[in-house]
Amino acid sequence: MSSQIDKLDIFDVKALLSEEELMVQDSIGRWVDERVIPIIGPAFDRHEFPMDLIPEMAELGLFGSTIQGYGCAGLNYTAYGLICQELERGDSGLRSFASVQSSLCMFPIDAFGSEAQKERWLPGMAQGDIIGCFGLTESHAGSDPASMKTVAKKDGDDWIINGSKMWITNGSIADIAIVWAQTEDGIQGFIVEKDMPGFATETIHRKMSLRASVTSALFFDDVRVPDANRLPKVKGLKGPLSCLSNARYGISWGPIGSAQACLQEALDYTAERVLFDRTLDSNQIIQQKLADMSRRITTAQLVAVRLGQLKDADQLQPTQISLAKWNNVRMALDIARECRDMLGGAGITTEHVAIRHMLNLESVITYEGTETIHQLVVGRELTGKNAF
């Protein structure tokens, strides 16, 4: 039986995309196939982020891709979502790098920064010459950022920052950190430069997830930051939470790529693996599992496209992002685990993609709001009652 249906796009979601969006997806997809997939498994094994890919990502316009001007691509948010999907098809660590650079660092400078800050930082960040990280989470305050203990006190025309941040992607390789701190006037954001005295980073090792990504702790010991490095257009949790909403939007797309990579591997493996004189994909239980993966990926694709439509129309609500992030990451993690099982003993090695994606997704389902927090956000919307 022949079929014209794309096995990874059963509902022909690509038909809903514009010509520009398709071009973005195709170009990034080819780059991931040619440059990422051949090297990312060994990079994961070595616990290394492939730094040599940064200039190529910049050349493709992946950093700050939705920002207008300053050397950025000026794409819509659906195109940005597709970028995240293709990058995560390669590895969550690569998508995390781009997500932090774009949504958590360039976005707040563009949205809340002065014109001088935009001109100073955004062009270099778009070119990949300046790497950013986002300092919000602390060791005792993950899901409750309002309880942060990092403080910034005014001292003449400067601010003195003391405290620490934990689980910071890109931290040890970053040139600047967007740091959120308590002040007498509420939570404010600061651009801390890597060579400022008293600012130190420490790379976190022994990770079993996101191994092809740099994760760090940040430390601030009387770090003197000029007021010119304070983000002037926002105060309170609105600033960091709006950054997280932007990042969560991309994360709602990314794991679709992980799931597609795992499904493709399972399709190829079960078509070739012979057990009891028949290929694995000749068995009903295998076909049932593959069909269920396809169903869940298709649902996630449609959720993501609708999310992009709402975002591009400036109508997207945080609850909708929470529902999408919860649904799509859970979908991908479940599929990665199922595919790992279908590969049998071979599935525990990083010669296959399933266990790498499975391990990475254990982090993705936790960061940018745990699954439980997103469930409670949706629950609050349904009941009108805050349970956290």
Is 4 inside any structural domain? no
- Beta strands, E only, 35-193: 132-135, 151-155, 158-169, 176-183, 186-193
Q: What is the pLDDT of residue 258?
A: 98
pLDDT of residue 388: 86
Give the DSSP H/E element, type plus range, for residue 163.
strand 158-169
| 244-294 pLDDT per residue, tens | 999 999 999 999 999 999 999 999 999 999 999 999 999 999 999 999 999
**Residue 50 shares a structural domain with residue 75:** yes
| pLDDT of residue 180 exceeding 60 | yes
Asked if residue 114 and residue 145 are part of one domain, the reply reads: no
344 in the same domain as 221: no
pLDDT mean over 330-349: 97
* Cβ 102 vs Cβ 64: under 8 Å: yes
Taking all residues of the chain, what is their mean pLDDT, rounded to a whole number?
A: 97
First to last CA, the chain: 53
Q: Are 170 and 212 in contact (CB under 8 A)?
A: no
5 falls within a domain:
no
Q: Which of 74, 102, 126 is the last residue of a domain?
A: 126
- 339 pLDDT more than 60: yes
Both 114 and 194 in one domain: the answer is: no
Say which CATH number the domain at 186 has: 2.40.110.10
In a domain, 207, yes or no: yes
- CATH assignment of the domain containing 332: 1.20.140.10
Is there a single domain that holds both residue 51 and residue 172? no
Q: What mean pLDDT is predicted for residues 220-235?
A: 98
Is 121 within the bounds of a domain? yes
pLDDT at 2 over 60: no
Query: Is residue 2, in this structure, part of any structural domain at all?
Result: no
How far from chain centre, in Å, is Cα 384?
29
DSSP labels for 76-100? -HHHHHHHHHHHHHH-HHHHHHHHI
Encoded amino acid at 194, one letter: K
What was the pLDDT predicted at 141?
Answer: 80
Q: What is the model's pTM?
A: 0.96
Domain holding 252, by residue range, is: 238-383
Both 91 and 170 in one domain: the answer is no
Last residue of a domain, one of 126, 146, 163: 126
> Which one of 178, 203, 229 terminates a domain?
229
Total structural domains within the chain: 3
Report the distance separating Cα 140 and Cα 146, nearest Å: 11
Let me know whether 117 and 146 are in one domain: no
Are both 244 and 348 inside the same structural domain? Answer: yes
The CATH number assigned to the domain holding 46 equals 1.10.540.10
Tell me which of 21, 88, 265, 368 is the catalytic residue. 368
Q: pLDDT digits over 93-111, tens only?
A: 999 999 999 999 999 999 9
Where is average pLDDT lowest: 136-150, 214-228, 372-386?
136-150
Q: Are residues 54 and 110 in the same domain?
A: yes
CA 277 to chain centre: 43
For residues 242 and 355, membership in a common domain is answered with yes
Using alpha carbons, select from 318, 364, 355, 337 the residue that is nearest to residue 88.
364
Within 10 angstroms of residue 272's Cβ, the number of other Cβ atoms is: 10
Is residue 89 domain-shared with residue 140, that is, in the same domain? no
351 included as an active-site residue: no
- Look at residue 8 and tell me if it is in a domain: no
Parallel, antiparallel or unpaired: strands 176-183 and 132-135: parallel
For 47-84, write each residue's pLDDT tens digit: 999 999 999 999 999 999 999 999 999 999 999 999 99
Looking at residue 79, what is its pLDDT?
98
My answer on whether 248 and 370 are in the same domain is yes
- Whether 338 shows a pLDDT value over 90: the answer reads yes
- Assess if residue 7 is contained within a domain: no
Classify residue 3: in a domain, yes or no: no
Q: What is the pLDDT of residue 142?
A: 83
How do residues 126-168 score in pLDDT, each as one tens digit?
A: 999 999 999 999 998 888 898 999 999 999 999 999 999 999 9
Write down the pLDDT at residue 3: 65
Distances (CA, A) of 254 to 108, 142, 261, 275: 21, 22, 11, 34
